[in-house]
Amino acid sequence: MPIVLVSVVLLQIACAVHAVRSGRPHYWIFIIIVAPMLGCIVYFIVAILPDMAQSRTARHAQASLVKAIDPDRDLRTLTDRFETADTIDNRRALAEEYLSRGEHGQAIMLYEGALIGPHRDDPILLQGLAAARFEGRQYSKALATLDRLRAANPDYRSASAHLLYARSLEGAGRDREALDEYLALTSYFPGAEAKCRMAMLLDRLGRAADARPVYQDIVRSLDRAGRPYRDAQREWYELARRHLG
């Protein structure tokens, strides 16, 4: 038997043994057997390497691969938990999963069911419901939900809720009000999204001359920032650069 083939077989055995002993899902053994070399390489990167290095990148790679192999795993797990115990936390977690999958109707139903009794005015649940309504293009209902949140929780502060309010105003066609909210957000919102959305709205309103310095400020500030932060803001950085030509 050629030495390369022996090496591959030994590598498969080592990876399979590691998968069993570390309690990994059984699909890993299938992957290792069906795609010998590639399967072992992928297993090393997403299963063994994180244990060795505990790096954020490796953990993200592992989560991404598991999601690609079994995209419904989280949904099944959260659904099982919810059906076992209909608690506020389980309902909220399942609603967030549906929202991340673009299934807004299911998310709305779950959030509405959670907003009862002592949790009727819970700000986290209300913000989640507003986000689901926004993603479902129910902009007026999203605004009404956020107004309810603010009235019931006057001390609640959330930059993401404020951004959602501005975007809902824009979605509802209330552009002038949206512009005011984006402008207020730019003074404290973490990251470049609020500024970029304000500049895009200015562009859409035919105010390109006002939008351009905002894009320039985004690019300039991110050019000066450290790479981790710039990478985290990559979407808005690239968008601003495209608008600058």
The whole-number pLDDT of residue 210 equals 97
What sections of the chain are H helices per DSSP? Answer: 3-21, 27-34, 36-43, 49-53, 56-69, 73-84, 88-100, 104-114, 123-135, 139-152, 159-171, 175-185, 193-204, 208-224, 227-232, 234-244
CB 124 within 8 A of CB 92: yes
φ and ψ at residue 59, rounded to 5 degrees: -65, -40
Q: Which residue has the higher pLDDT, 20 or 121?
A: 121
Percent of the chain with pLDDT over 70: 87
Span of 42-56, 105-119, 124-138 with lowest mean pLDDT: 42-56
DSSP 118: G
The whole-number pLDDT of residue 36 equals 72
- Collapse the DSSP code of 185 into the 3-class scheme (helix H, G, I; strand E, B; otherwise coil) and give the result: helix
The whole-number pLDDT of residue 32 equals 78
- Mark 58-80 as b/e (b = at least 16 C-beta within 10 Å): beebbeebbeeeeeeebbeebee
Q: Would you call 117 exposed, middle or buried from its count of C-beta atoms within 10 A (0-12, 13-18, 19+)?
A: exposed
Span of 20-29, 91-100, 113-122 with lowest mean pLDDT: 20-29
Span of 90-99, 114-123, 206-215, 221-230 with lowest mean pLDDT: 221-230
- Mean of pLDDT values over 168-195: 97
The whole-number pLDDT of residue 6 equals 63
